[in-house]
Structure 1
Amino acid sequence: MITTTTFVSFFPNSKILLYNRHVGVMTNIIVGSEVWVEDPSVAWIDGEVLKINGEEVEIHTTDGKTVIASLSKIYSKDVEAPAGGVDDMTKLSYLHEPGVLHNLSTRYQLNEIYTYTGNILIAVNPFKRLPKLYDAKMMERYKGAALGELDPHVFAIADAAFRAMVNEGKSNSILVSGESGAGKTETTKMLMRYLAYLGGHKGTEGRTVEQQILESNPVLEAFGNAKTVRNDNSRCNTATLSNELIGTLAHLLQFITFIYIYFFLNCSRFGKFVEIQFDKQTRISGAAIRTYLLERSRVCQISDPERNYHCFYLLCAAPPEEIKKYKLGDPRSFRYLNQSKCYELDGVNDSHDYLATRRAMGVVGMNEKEQDAIFRVLASVLHLGNIDFSKGKEVDSSVLKDDKSKFHLRTAAELLMCDLQELEDALLKRVMVTPEEVIKRSLDPVGASVSRDGLAKTLYSRLFDW
């Protein structure tokens, strides 16, 4: 079993290495050859060829079974490969799918989560903290080291991109890609940490650019990340990994170089593009972060055992005075949060993370007034979700269902600082603008619910973009 995998690639002058699952296929397989054959439970299993009958091959596998496979669907096994695998897969005799997966699996079992494929770094998510692998001593070790000189590491990729920028005077790009739960966010944070280490302003007082860059991560994670089935202690089998490997590396051909050092993060719930700028003294001079493709539907609809965006749970765990200010309560009392039975994450303190997020927002330049406005919008989204509708007296019309719904509507209007009646009309009526007039049409309870959810998604999406 291999866990999900992240691909980190450094592209000087857009030179890209392509992995092809058919590279290294041997046509001279004979009786006695050691080969790989597909297996439904473990993706690939090795065995020895017992008999060849035309295009059919009889193989005795290492789990004691005898299978029949097509000659075109088996691959030669590298019997000379080291027992602990190789740190660069270009060293493999056969660069085919089973050979690549077996090498990754072998290294992973030895706690070696990084492996090169040329200038591509493959990172297998360990699903645990490895602090010594990313401390200051490790950063100093990789500083200035040539790519491939030391063990595979994400710092080596960052250093290679940085040195190429300095030595050649050209922009460079780093691409981080992988499936949901592969560790893209953590990998990108490590890249940013290392570049901040290389280009930081030592001894500078106050808030530095590199501090703002690093503190942007917890803010974006709070508002753009959520627990899913895949990214919270999830696993994927080797078949899933192999398909992702082929698709991702083929996708790299479409990648181009941009102006500065960039990161592309295909995150689970949104995409992030980070541009870090350096001056002539190789110090960080500025940065820009662009986000896109936020999963808007998650605001209103989640599946068990997933969660909504972290920020909602952080806000519900805020200090008592802020809970009272935003008229919040237990997450179980809000429709947009109680569709799943998962309210807490193991090893995560939402109260602590709320305060940490507020501090990070201050570091990146958001003042108290702006922070308050942000959390007012968040709270209004939760209150909007608790508004229910019932059938009105007129045909295809609706009204607020009960006093509870009226309370949440009134609270949402107060938090959004908008007119109560206008907000109610926006939920209960559909407005059509023609060249001659403005037509208002009543909505039935189902239509009003759709209108409510649409407003909530738009509010959150606009807030996230801001």
Structure 2
Amino acid sequence: MRTDLEEAKAQELSKFQSSMDALQAKLDETNAVLLKEREAAKKAIAEAPPVVKETEVIVQDTEKVHTLKAEVDELKTSLQSEKQRADELEKKRSEEAQANEEKQKKIEETEVKIRQFQDYLRRLEEKLSNVESENKVLRQQAVSVAPAKILSGRSKSNLQRNAESGHVSVSDSKITPESAVVASPKKEYDIDDKPQKSLNEKQQENQDLLIRCIAQHLGFAGNRPVAACIIYKCLLHWRSFEVERTSVFDRIIQTIGHAIETQDNNEVLAYWLSNASTLLLLLQRTLKASGSTGMAPQRRRSSSATLFGRMTQSFRGTPQGVNLALINGSMVSGVETLRQVEAKYPALLFKQQLTAYVEKIYGMIRDNLKKEISPLLGLCIQAPRTSRASMMKGSSRSNTNTAAQQALIAHWQGIVKSLGNFLNILKVNNVPPFLVRKVFTQIFSFINVQLFNSLLLRRECCSFSNGEYVKAGLAELEHWCYRATDEYAGSAWDELKHIRQAIGFLVIHQKPKKTLDEISHDLCPVLSIQQLYRISTMYWDDKYGTHSVSPEVISNMRVLMTEDSNNPVSNSFLLDDD
């Protein structure tokens, strides 16, 4: 019974399970259908075109809209143009501001130059006034008749005896010519002469000691020439500048003249150039001709026209390299603190003689250097044949080429060596740098004239390879100027502008393409048409076989030369050796 019940339950459960499975399958099928329908609906919605509902806008005043639109466009255009104009105005304002700054800077520089020029003019007028006064004293002394001797021998006045010894005491200056001629008893003369003779002998001994002292090589204290300082100090102490008669100046001049008799001894010449120029500077700052104050300078040639007359008149203070602190222990600012004394004829004459000696010694040193380098200059204008041949072959072997280059510039290096030796001599002897610069400026001008004239006179020198040779030598001189510095070389390199530009023309490539304007204004601005024509027609290329300037340029040169044919100065193509 129980078994039957269990079987009946099992059958019912089985039926119920089957029904459940059928319902579940049906449910799953229904869900699958719903899912498919949902996806189909989504896809249909996504693919369906959107429905836009257009709404008609009714414009009542179309003409007004168009007018407003045109006004807006016009305002945009106007705004753009205003913006562009504002940018242009801003740019122009910036340029004007920059130009104003430059003008302001130029105005300030001009004002500084004007003040400097006014100061220089004032000093020059003072110097001219002083020089005119000195010349007046010298002229009066030259044309005046020597006064007859009122007293002689033992009857000389104390003033005359002291003047001859180079010293005037305060008490002596009070003696008048009338009191000097008053007859006195012989006994009084004997009493007066004893101390006076002793004083004269003492002063004569001092002069002898000074002459013996300066005849020796006293050297320098720092960079100060001792002999010049001693001479100046003694003359100032003895008041020799203020006496009418004295022999001390002549003795100093004779000592200097005797010392420079050996004209080829550059050491001695440089030593005395240093001393004489320093002493001349001191005299220029110290001596004042009587009656010089307030005199209007006259426009006539005087000692200021000479080289060192102009130099000494242009001194504002101590030139660089002339330290005069030894002269006066209280002096701080150079020669500006030196007291001026009213100089008499002997002192003014001494200054003129000293100026002449400075010029003479300067010229001797310059001429000695010219004599030393002149033989080398003749060898420097044309390259040696072997060296020129090696230059034309090229630089296939570097070692051989280097040796050839060294041999090529050997003569130029000889000139550089001479320049260096002379510079060392002048520096060791503390020659003022402005004189050293003047020496080398004139020497380089001499080199320029000699080389340039030789180039124009010798066709074999106007070749391309020879231009390279001279260019290498000029580079040696430029390097020397750089090592010497501007303090001593100054503008010496600028003195070679003629030969530098001529050589630049020889070595430049593509000459036929150059116009006359390019040659005369850019390449060789300092050369005349005659000089350019000479070089252009004499040029030949021994290295590359190229040609000179075009026939058109040569023709234009001939036309210009014909126009200048009436000018005798322009007809000469050679430089003058000043």
TM-score normalised by L of structure 2? 0.24
TM-score normalised by L of structure 1? 0.28
More helix by share: 2
Higher RCO (CA-CA < 8 Å; seq separation 6+): 1
Structure showing greater Rg: 2
